[in-house]
Amino acid sequence: MRPETIETDRVRLRRYQETDIADLMAGCGDPLTRRFLPALPDPYTEIDARWWIADGSGAEWAAGGAAYAIADPGSDRLLGGIGIGNVQRLRGQGEVGYWVAPWARRQGVATAAVTALVDRAFATGFTRLELLTHLDNGPSQRVALAAGFQREGVRRGAGPGRGGGRRDLLGWARLAGDPAGPTPRTLPDLPGGRLTDGVVVLRPLAAADTDFLFALQRLPEVVATSVPPLAPERSAIAAKCAGAESSWLAGSRADLVILDAASGEPAGEIGLYYQEPPTGQAMIGYAMLPAWRGRGYPTRAARLLARWAFDATGIARLIAGTLPENTGSQRVLEKAGFQREGHLRGRLPGIAGTRVDDILYALLPTDLPG
């Protein structure tokens, strides 16, 4: 690629210049930037900024890649950085990387910059572009999807961690022949970010919910109905919460917190697991804190989640299972419109290599109460 300026209505991609020094220091010194770009010097000084402008960015161009400043097309102020590295010329392949300054986030800057750079790269001979994101960096994964990249899988230990160690990264790719526009999603976002019937509210699980979910999942009665029936470690719950947005974006599962609408306090959790996209079948599961049981909250939550699934996704059938002795959960499902379909012998793993039975329930769109 040649270091030619790329102009769009939303962003300008240009070479770095000395007037960027102050903003480059502020952007690369931001805690969130450093969190997901652990190789950046810490602290990021004026010396680092000057080196990048004079030498570092030029080396990327010399290697066949790119190193652009993302600038505002009106004021020319620095908004972030984007480039292509790890170029493999024989494969026509490179890796896109970017960062956005705090003052420009959540304004579509990254998506506009990635889209513009990808278009230029394909026009100049690249045939495959990769992009790596941290599992807990939902906003960056949204950018990848919006720019037409497809998720290819987890790359174990692919990235360095600040302070040592390695971190898993998600691998994304876009080919020159891929359709233009965003990559379609199996599970869209909730309308307005939540679902409610005025009594309960459902919102996506987040990293900040770790303490709540850990306490819930460690309750003996919740452990007994888990698969397998083992109490989770806190690290596993923390990883689940941190990666919940990533799982949702991948279309594999939607984990939500059940809130009391009046107080806003977390009362339980409910999840939708899209295990059979080819057949349009998904499964739900739920758990409640003791203080909120007996109020019909899981039934309300199941109805809300089911209606959203049927109306907004390709899901055509929901299933749920309970242990034979879990009559309380069976009543919840029946009140939500689920119908019992069978007794599956030895379906689930139990303790110490044993197997336990599962009572299967299913819900079709026509089964939902009006």
What span, in angstroms and rounded, lies between the C-alpha atoms of 188 and 333? 24
226 contacts: CB under 8 Å, gap ≥ 6: 217, 232
What span, in angstroms and rounded, lies between the C-alpha atoms of 71 and 315? 42
What span, in angstroms and rounded, lies between the C-alpha atoms of 108 and 361? 43
What span, in angstroms and rounded, lies between the C-alpha atoms of 282 and 338? 13
Say what the pLDDT of residue 1 is.
80
Q: Which helix (H) or strand (E) holds 12?
A: strand 12-14
Say what the pLDDT of residue 161 is.
82
Say what the pLDDT of residue 163 is.
76
Alpha helices in the chain (DSSP H): 21-28, 31-36, 46-51, 57-62, 109-123, 138-146, 210-217, 220-224, 234-242, 244-250, 297-312, 327-335
When computed from its CA atoms, the radius of gyration of the chain, rounded to whole angstroms, is: 24
Give 12's strand partners: 7, 71
Say what the pLDDT of residue 369 is.
79
Say what the pLDDT of residue 5 is.
97
Nearest Cα neighbor of 108 from 73, 145, 143 is 143
Strands 317-322 and 281-288 come out as: parallel
For the chain, residues with pLDDT lower than 50 are none
State the chain's mean pLDDT as an integer.
Answer: 96
For residues 288 and 267, is the Cβ–Cβ distance under 8 A? Answer: yes
Q: pTM for this structure?
A: 0.92
Say what the pLDDT of residue 234 is.
97
DSSP notation for 33-70: HHHH-TTS-SS--HHHHHHIIIIIHHHHHHTT-EEEEE
Give 85's strand partners: 95
Domains of the chain (ranges, CATH numbers): 6-175 (3.40.630.30), 191-367 (3.40.630.30)
For residues 312 and 365, is the Cβ–Cβ distance under 8 A? Answer: no
Say what the pLDDT of residue 352 is.
87
Nearest Cα neighbor of 13 from 56, 67, 93 is 67
Interval 242-291: pLDDT, tens:
999 999 999 999 999 999 999 999 999 999 999 999 999 999 999 999 99
Say what the pLDDT of residue 241 is.
97
C-beta neighbour count of 179 within 10 angstroms: 8
